[in-house]
Amino acid sequence: MTKKSKKKKTSWKSEVSSWIVCIVITLLLTWLITNFVIINANIPSGSMENTIMTNDKLIALRTAYWFHDPERGDIIIFEYPDDEQEWYIKRVIALPGETIEIKDGKVYINGSDTPLNEPYLKEKPVGDFGPYTVPKDSYFVMGDNRNSSNDARDWYTHYVTRDEILGKAWFRYHPSFGWIE
């Protein structure tokens, strides 16, 4: 065997080895990012219309609540309280310890005379609900398309606990680009 052919064999092995290392590192980073940093979500229903439309694809940040709690108005992805194998996306309406009541479709927090300002709603909501007091470490969530949303008003377990929250909706990338608010 000549020096030249030995050098080719060594460089071929080196090349294959470097590709394998790159692929393994890429797969590991992808796994880490998708399990600890972001959620890549496809929206299957119209419960959040017109804020988020059916078949939108979006990114949610798993890191959003590492250092602070969800706030009223945040759009969150969470494990559905009545079946944690399913994931839902809804808007936070009432916070831990607050009392929520819905009269004629309008949301009242802690017995206020003024309904919650909700400019994001698709249409004028109808119906009554409550009053209910949100337990400690839990949140009351509803869809923006209130009249067509399966949300906390309808569930056996009316609240999403803090540990069921997976992330905060952040960015839509299909069919259009934009921040989610």
**In sequence order, what are the beta bridge partners of 15?**
none
Annotated catalytic residue 6: no
pLDDT at 13: 84
Which of 11, 13, 47, 149 is labelled catalytic?
Answer: 47
Q: What is the band of 164 on the pLDDT scale with cuts at 50, 70, 90?
A: very high
10 has a pLDDT exceeding 70 = no
Annotated catalytic residue 9: no
Which of 18, 90, 103, 122 is labelled catalytic?
Answer: 90
5 has a pLDDT exceeding 70 = no
1 has a pLDDT exceeding 70 = no
90 has a pLDDT exceeding 80 = yes
Share of the chain above pLDDT 70, in %: 94
Interval 34-61 mean pLDDT:
92
What's the chain's length in residues? 181
Phi/psi of residue 22, nearest 5 degrees = -60, -45
Q: Whole-model pTM?
A: 0.85
Q: What is the band of 58 on the pLDDT scale with cuts at 50, 70, 90?
A: very high
pLDDT at 6: 54
d(CA 91, CA 138): 13
Element (H, E) at 140: strand 138-142
